[in-house]
Amino acid sequence: MTDTALREEICLLAKSLFDRGLTHGSTGNISARTEDGGLLVSPTGTSFGRLDPARLSRFDASGQLIGGDKPTKEMPLHTAFYDTRGTAGAVVHLHSCHAVALSMMTDVDEDDFLPPLTPYGLMKLGRVKLLPFFLPGDPAMGQAVRGLAGRRSAVMLANHGPVVAGKDVEAACNAIEELEDTARLAMMTRGMGARALTEAQVRAVVTTFDVEWDA
């Protein structure tokens, strides 16, 4: 994909997320690998509803900022995914309401943040790691992602928001939507005795759809 087309796609999908309330105000950030091995990144302080394709921060393949506005303060988080997951072509971070609410529940499993409620939740995300609370922009978040050594495509920052890597912008956006929707189901059905997928059903999804699960 050309630089121009990628800029348009980033802004279009970010606006779509914003318009559906998946992140609000000036929250969230998004990045994608360019054809020349560089990165296009949302500038700090911008709204997903109004990203300007011409002003996206542009990095070259050596990580030098070569154009556009000042990048998101979460660069260490984004680069941690690119450096540890060779398949990562895009990274998206949102402040999506239900995922944040679920991260505040004291009984969630840190190694498996989302309950196995639907097949697509498993297929698009694999196992999601709940990371502790960090200050926004804290490079320690990047270190925490590096500590996972590329074994997770999705993490949840406690009391803050999800971060998902995908092979391209569309895949990363689809996956983070799945994360929010699964968290919404989990919050909606909390304490209602809802039936999750059984271990056998989870295993069938994992093997049939080649889900990253046991790493």
Ligand X SMILES: O=C(CO)COP(=O)(O)O
Binding-site ranges for ligand X (CB under 6 A): 26-29, 44-45, 72-74, 93, 95, 136
CA angle 109, 122, 180 (to 5 degrees): 70
CB of 78 to Zn ion, least distance (A): 12
| Core vs surface per residue 93-108: b (16+ CB within 10 A) or e | bbbbbbbbebbeeeeb
Write out the two tokens for 80: 């941690």
Residue 82 annotated to the active site: no
CB of 38 to ligand X, least distance (A): 18
CB of 70 to ligand X, least distance (A): 8
- Considering the complex, state which of residue 7 and residue 93 has its C-beta at the smaller distance from ligand X: 93
Stretch in the footprint of Zn ion (CB under 5 A) among 2-10, 48-56, 127-135, 156-164 = 156-164
- Considering the complex, state which of residue 74 and residue 181 has its C-beta at the smaller distance from ligand X: 74
- Considering the complex, state which of residue 92 and residue 122 has its C-beta at the smaller distance from ligand X: 92
Binding-site partner at residue 34 among ligand X, Zn ion, none, CB < 5 to 8 Å by type: none
Number of residues that bind Zn ion (CB under 5 A): 1
Write out the two tokens for 195: 């039936």
Binding-site partner at residue 55 among ligand X, Zn ion, none, CB < 5 to 8 Å by type: none
Catalytic annotation, pick one of 60, 112, 120, 187: 120
Q: At a CB cut-off of 8 Å and minimum separation 6, what does 159 contact? A: 100, 103, 104, 133
- Backbone φ and ψ for 90, nearest 5 degrees, come out as -160, 150
- Considering the complex, state which of residue 140 and residue 194 has its C-beta at the smaller distance from ligand X: 140
Closest residue to ligand X, Cβ-based?
A: 72
SS3 label, residue 188: helix
Alpha helices for 73-214 (secondary structure H): 75-84, 97-103, 119-125, 140-146, 169-188, 199-208
| Core vs surface per residue 55-88: b (16+ CB within 10 A) or e | ebbbbeeeeebeebbebbebbbbbbbbbebbeeb
Interatomic CA distance for residues 141 and 135, integer angstroms: 9
Q: Which of residues 161-190 bind Zn ion (CB under 5 A)?
A: 161
CB of 178 to ligand X, least distance (A): 20
Residues belonging to the active site: 120
Interface residue list for Zn ion (CB under 5 A): 161
